[in-house]
Structure 1
């Protein structure tokens, strides 16, 4: 049986960001009695990593604490690159699978917010016909990348004075994370319902690419996939908090 407690939202940020981007969304959910957690990925901020799998291992450790030890039901919420990291960390923690063994807790839903749905054996760069023009080598370290014109790429639907603090918080991203291959995916398991949130004014991940990844993921999975749309840029956690929170509460069944 499903838990009577509300599920825990577990947030995974995108490349170049950190966990603080979810603060307002988490605060709103908390006020509605939803517990939340958010991760700071090792690859964002200058730490040397060799692949996205180091981020996945970090996420997996936290998910195992939530699921195996605390027996929580978890909704994973991802943005951009975070979709790749989170999807690679789910296998074996699915709530449906655990219930068949009489175990409590598990992943009950996965949310991609303009996030990368990367197939088994593929990399993030495999999803684009050529390296994104929005990225450039970090002049301080060629193993990392920075974003060109972040205020137009990530925050094109908010005023400059609103985006400025977030532009200042951006950190270099390890380029190796875009080149490593997926070793597991949420859609391959076929038992975790997924929601893809298309951000219709996104300047970082084109809408056509978002829609293509949703269709491809749905084609693999035997689980339920649904699509939602927001009239925002790449960062609805900043430009439409109320709308995003409402969507997440809908996912949680409220």
Structure 2
């Protein structure tokens, strides 16, 4: 049995991943899905990338300090949070310090694998897509935001209209400044066992962005395993069984 911590995306809550996490548990794994505080409903927001970072670092630290080996799964914005939060918690780093437990692997599920000093907006701007932001996201004056087209841009094809509508109903208003927060740390520099699930039809984090993240991590010395899933931005919903199998194989070493 493996211990997973899933860091969810913007707008999402743990319930958004219920089918995926149930499938992992049925495969014999322990799964934790802490709710990020940037989706706590506060207006104006009282939590951001750095608040989410503190939460995840504390949560994962409590597991590894108890001697647990943890694989961290990250979806979408969850990649920014995990990358920023987990530096120094890798199993190899802790073993070198004479400590037990640690993060043994990182799995980015169409997630933002950024570098220190970089924000998601920086990536968007570097690709010449900054003008797309207000077209895709509806920002209120308090900087909370929702997608202008969650069915087309966020979820994508693969499930019935009724199932997709039920999924979208779980999504919450989120502090959109998470897209602009710059990373202060970079976990994949010392946790080099990395898996990446590439969503080929993603309209939120396009495939060329995803491939660029893989290249950057490989150039940084990571051993990156990749899988392509023919779906949109939410493969843990539209292809949850396939992604659960991928994650299971990742920790099983296959």
Q: Is the 8 A contact 2:119 2:181 kept in 1?
A: yes
TM-score by length of 2: 0.91
The runs of at least 4 consecutive aligned structure 1 residues that moved more than 4 Å come to none
Cα offset, 1:187, TM superposition: 2.3
Q: Deviations over 1:138-195 (max 9, x none)?
A: 3xx5321110110111222122111101212211111222212111012232x43111
Structure 2 residue 131 is matched with structure 1 residue 120: no
Unaligned runs of 5+ in 2: none
Q: Is the 8 A contact 2:147 2:154 kept in 1?
A: no
Question: 2:90 maps to which residue?
Answer: 94
1:210-225 pair list within 5 angstroms: 210-220=210-220, 222-225=221-224
Question: Comparing 97-106 with 148-157, which one deviates more in the overlay?
Answer: 97-106
Q: Is the 8 A contact 1:81 1:116 kept in 2?
A: yes
Q: Is the 8 A contact 1:107 1:192 kept in 2?
A: no
Q: Is the 8 A contact 2:7 2:75 kept in 1?
A: yes
Q: Is the 8 A contact 1:16 1:45 kept in 2?
A: no
1:72-87 pair list within 5 angstroms: 72-87=68-83
> In 1, Cα distance between the equivalents of 2:225 and 2:69?
20
Cα offset, 1:115, TM superposition: 0.4
Cα offset, 1:65, TM superposition: 0.8
Question: 1:60 maps to which residue?
Answer: 57
Structure 2 residue 174 is matched with structure 1 residue 173: yes
* Backbone CA RMSD of aligned residues: 1.5
Question: 1:3 maps to which residue?
Answer: none
> Counterpart of 1:142 in 2: which secondary structure?
coil
Q: Is the 8 A contact 2:6 2:72 kept in 1?
A: yes
Residues paired across the two proteins, number: 244
Q: Is the 8 A contact 1:95 1:106 kept in 2?
A: yes
More helix by share: 2
> Counterpart of 1:128 in 2: which secondary structure?
helix
Q: Is the 8 A contact 1:144 1:173 kept in 2?
A: yes
1:208-247 pair list within 5 angstroms: 208-220=208-220, 222-247=221-246
> In 2, Cα distance between the equivalents of 1:119 and 1:201?
24
Question: 1:134 maps to which residue?
Answer: 136
Unaligned runs of 5+ in 1: 1-5
> In 2, Cα distance between the equivalents of 1:209 and 1:126?
12
Question: Comparing 110-119 with 191-200, which one deviates more in the overlay?
Answer: 191-200
TM-score by length of 1: 0.91
> Counterpart of 1:171 in 2: which secondary structure?
coil
Cα offset, 1:77, TM superposition: 0.4
Q: Return the match for 2:2 from 1, 7, 31.
A: 7
